[in-house]
Amino acid sequence: MRAQRTQRPRRAAVTGIGVIAPNGQRPDAYWKAVSEGVPVLDRITREGCDHLPLRVAGEVRAFDASALIEDRFLVQTDRFSHFAMAAAALALDDAGLGSGDPAEPFSVGVVTAAGSGGGEFGQRELQKLWGQGSKFVGPYQSIAWFYAASTGQISIRGGFKGPCGVVASDEAGGLDALAHAARAVQRGTGTMIVGAAEAPLAPYSMVCQLGYPELSTVDDPDRAYRPFTADACGFVPAEGGALLVVEDEDRARERGATVRATVAGHAATFTGASRWEESREGLARAIRGALDEAGCAPEEIDVVFADALGVAEADRAEALAIADALGAHGTRVPVTAPKTGIGRAHCAAPVLDTVAAVLAMEHGQVPPTPNVSDICHDLDLVMSRARPAELRTALVLSRGLMGSNAALVVRRAGESAR
């Protein structure tokens, strides 16, 4: 039996970040684009998509999977897993854990969130099925399309044998995965690799999204995704994602790693698909739950990364939820939505926002919300340029199209509950 710890509970520290985003394929490039508010939304260029009414998205261009991942992993995986494996490798490098087999493989686990799985791979194999026959379907179809593929392949590739999992809880699952990893660390796992990556910009995957009433089909990239404005016309999808290394803070410091932030609190609720008015209460409760777990007063929140769906009813519900949960502070705290520059990468969207939150705290800047001006809600939304600010605690919000709501509190390294 393990000796009882008498010191404070274990804390989950972020020690590594890997990003494959439409606006940058390393954290420094991502932060430069995010902090400068450079939008990269553009007309979709992927083959086979030009006849579809969805015109604008955030594509990850010039991504060279073969430079980062071995062929034997590439042939058996979809683009969403390519992003995830690449981001995981970058995060492990950033954490100083990149080379060779892990010293303690059972102390390293993986958890990812996934919203759509491997649509492009699945489409290719299904076309073989109906075009040539069942004998022409490759065996990797059995694993590549599946939500769990990225977690599995990251763990196999790295030789990680600790607790692994996949969160399938809608877009907000990106935050739920981070919470899951933090809890695994609190329960004793040394290191977790956690995050999400999505690849929803192939013909089959795009057709699946066309049924969402919240999807923006506006074809002007500068006007397609403008949450919190009177011109809000839905959201623009994106591909890519981010993986983080989360580990026990004391253990991280003992091995000399740089602690970039801590995961302080999380809560999630469910209020039903597209019932945006009801998401107000669900999101407010998630915020309160996350603050509770973090031991954080509303006034301590220095910046909010909004879900920013871009649907009038949903934007109103979010603004009201922030006010409900944070009180008067809710109208004073800087709010931002850098995802208006890159689109919403489904489950990966709140993970990219969490990365932006960590980088914002490190740089002392609230990044702006590209393409958005003249908002019609009572929020202090940071718009045209980054705003310098002392940021110790950030709140990240996410809602899913199917009704999940989640909130995550992250703190700057060295900060703790007051």
Partner 1 sequence: MITTEMTFGELAALMKKAAGITVDPQELEQASDSPFDSFGLDSLGLLGIVGELENRHGRSLPPDSERCRTPREFLDLVNSTLTAGA
Q: Of the ranges 51-59, 70-78, 233-241, 380-388, which one interacts with partner 1 (CB under 8 A)?
A: 70-78
Of 140-148, 210-218, 220-228, 284-292, the window that binds partner 1 (rule: CB under 8 A) is 140-148
CA angle 184, 91, 99 (to 5 degrees): 100
Which residue stretch of 15-23, 28-36, 135-143, 318-326 sits at the interface with partner 1 (rule: CB under 8 A)? Answer: 135-143
Q: Which two tokens stand for residue 69?
A: 């991942």
Least gap, CB of 71 to partner 1 (angstroms)? 3
Nearer to partner 1, 38 or 74 (CB): 74
Quick one: which of 15, 76, 169, 271 contacts partner 1 (CB under 8 A)? 76
- Report the nearest approach of partner 1 to the CB of residue 83 (Å): 18
67 binds partner 1 (CB under 8 A): no
Q: Which is nearer to partner 1, 75 or 210 (CB)?
A: 75
Interface with partner 1, residue 148, by CB under 8 A: no
The reply to whether 64 sits near partner 1 by the rule CB under 8 A is no
Distance CA 1, CA 182 (A): 23
The rounded distance, in Å, linking the Cα atoms of 245 and 417 is: 22
336 touches partner 1 (CB under 8 A): no
- Binding to partner 1 by residue 138, rule CB under 8 A? yes
Whole-angstrom distance, CA of residue 272 vs CA of residue 67: 42
Using the contact rule CB under 8 A, the part of the chain among 4-12, 69-77, 80-88, 94-102 near partner 1 is: 69-77
Q: Is 135 in the site for partner 1 (CB under 8 A)?
A: yes
- Applying CB under 8 A, among 38, 74, 207, 402 the residue interacting with partner 1 is 74
In three-state secondary structure terms, 59 is coil
CB of 137 to partner 1, least distance (A): 8
* Helix/strand/coil for 193: strand
Nearest to 305 by CA among 282, 324, 283, 273: 283
Spatial separation of the C-alpha atoms in residues 137 and 140, rounded to whole Å: 9
Nearer to partner 1, 82 or 411 (CB): 82
Q: Would you count residue 143 as binding partner 1 (CB under 8 A)?
A: yes
Q: Which of 72, 213, 256, 388 binds partner 1 (CB under 8 A)?
A: 72
Residue 387: partners with Cβ closer than 8 Å, 6 or more residues away: 334, 365, 366, 368
Contact with partner 1 (CB under 8 A): which of 1, 9, 71, 230? 71
**Between residues 77 and 398, which has the closer beta carbon with respect to partner 1?**
77
Cβ–Cβ contacts within 10 Å for residue 239, how many? 29
- Strand positions, DSSP E, 190-332: 191-198, 240-248, 261-270, 303-305
Quick one: which of 50, 70, 219, 374 contacts partner 1 (CB under 8 A)?
A: 70
Q: CA nearest 351: which of 281, 271, 200, 246? A: 246
Cβ–Cβ < 8 Å for 372, 229: yes
- Binding of partner 1 at residue 378 (CB under 8 A)? no
- Among 26, 38, 46, 73, indicate the residue that binds partner 1 (CB under 8 A): 73
Shortest Cβ distance from residue 127 to partner 1 (Å)?
15
Does 127 help bind partner 1 (rule: CB under 8 A)? no
Query: Does 328 participate in binding partner 1 (rule CB under 8 A)?
Result: no
What does the per-residue mask of binding to partner 1 show for 17-56, with x meaning CB under 8 A? ----------------------------------------
d(CA 71, CA 85): 12
CB 252 within 8 A of CB 245: no
Rounded Cα distance, 82 and 73, in Å: 8
Of 112-120, 137-145, 162-170, 299-307, the segment contacting partner 1 by CB under 8 A is 137-145
- Check residue 101 for interaction with partner 1 (CB under 8 A): no
Which of 61, 64, 127, 136 binds partner 1 (CB under 8 A)? It is 136
74/389 with CB nearer partner 1? 74
* Residues in CB range of 347: below 8 A, 6 or more apart: 113, 114, 115, 167, 170, 171, 173, 174, 177, 196, 198, 241
Calculate the alpha carbon distances from 380 to 274, 383, 386, 395, 396 in Å.
Answer: 25, 9, 13, 14, 15
Residue 117's identity, in one-letter code, is G
Contacts to partner 1 by CB under 8 A: 70-76, 135-136, 138-140, 142-143
